[in-house]
Amino acid sequence: MVLSIIKLFFIGFLGFFQTDQPTFKGGKEALDSFIASKTIYPSFSKNNCIQGTIYVSFQLNQNGEVFGAKVDKGLGVDLDQEALRLVRLTNNKWDVPTNHNIKSRIIIPVNFSLKNYDCDLRSQDEVNKAIELYKTRAALEKVVTNYYKNKEEGKAIDKNEAEIIQIKAELGFDDTFISNKIKEAKKMMRQGDKVGACQALNFIKNIGSNAAESLIAENCK
């Protein structure tokens, strides 16, 4: 079971949901429920029992639209991107008072917790090593995606593709990985998260697969 717990802090204010502060429509319980229902626990962190709190800050305009969202404090793994995605999904779900200062920033700490994944058997040292491994993988992923972006533009050196294919194998970018990534993208699309879905689909494209071409053509142009 995946748990995602969320609280709100307003920079410059002392309490939660006070008068003249933006409030999530339905209140804090509704926000907690919304976040829990939308969370797609990232596969690397789930498989490696990486848990923790990601702090995301953002601003709201008078229409309750989220802008300027960024990770203020993260773990440097895929949980950071998911926390940011979840905050962006709250777009248009806020009641904003007329005297709200749109320059003020709201901080949401999103807590990711795994249950029934035998994570109590993992030592903190093992988790820390997994976090470092993720950072190494991210650098290799960039090598792969840069190659295929350059290839699409006719700038890649063909003789280097054998090395890129080897890196892809080391990263586990196989048919199962691609299939799971497409499922995640479709789930995001059902949630109304077109931006997140298209990012996932274009990632598939940028690792040299054409498996997402039709979905990209249909949804991401």
- Could you state, in order of their start, the residue ranges of all structural domains in the chain? 2-120, 124-219
| CA angle, 121 then 33 then 127, to 5° | 20
The CA distance from 40 to 187, in Å, is 9
Judged against a pLDDT cut of 60, whether residue 179 lies above it is answered with: yes
Helices and strands in the chain, H and E counts: 8, 7
pLDDT tens for 55-85 read 999 999 999 999 999 999 999 999 999 999 9
Q: How far from each other are the two terminal CA atoms of the chain, in whole angstroms?
A: 35
Instruction: Please report the pLDDT score of residue 10 as a whole number.
Output: 45
57 is written with which tokens? 């800050």
CB 60 within 8 A of CB 11: no
Least confident of 16-20, 31-35, 191-195: 16-20
pLDDT grade, residue 1 (50/70/90)?
A: low
* Residues 2-120, CATH architecture: 2-Layer Sandwich (3.30)
Q: Which residues contact 133 (CB under 8 A, 6 or more apart)?
A: 48
**124-152 and 161-171 are packed helices; what angle lies between their axes, rounded to 10 degrees?**
150
pLDDT grade, residue 18 (50/70/90)?
A: very low
Instruction: Please report the pLDDT score of residue 13 as a whole number.
Output: 35
Judged against a pLDDT cut of 70, whether residue 17 lies above it is answered with: no
Judged against a pLDDT cut of 70, whether residue 15 lies above it is answered with: no
Judged against a pLDDT cut of 70, whether residue 42 lies above it is answered with: yes
Judged against a pLDDT cut of 80, whether residue 2 lies above it is answered with: no
Instruction: Please report the pLDDT score of residue 156 as a whole number.
Output: 86
pLDDT grade, residue 158 (50/70/90)?
A: confident
The CA distance from 172 to 58, in Å, is 34
Query: pTM value?
Result: 0.87
Q: Can you name the residues that pair with 106 across neighbouring β-strands?
A: 10, 58
pLDDT grade, residue 221 (50/70/90)?
A: confident
- Spatial CA neighbour of 57 closest among 92, 87, 96, 18: 87
% residues pLDDT > 90 (the chain):
84
Residue whose structure tokens are 């950071």: 80
What is the pLDDT of the chain when averaged over all its residues? 91
Print burial letters for 94-122: b (CB count within 10 Å at least 16), e (below 16): bebeeebeeeebbebbbbbebeebeeeeb
Average pLDDT over residues 150-156: 93
For residue 69, count other CB atoms closer than 10 A to its CB: 20
142 is written with which tokens? 């960039």
Residue whose structure tokens are 């410059």: 12
Average pLDDT over residues 28-48: 94
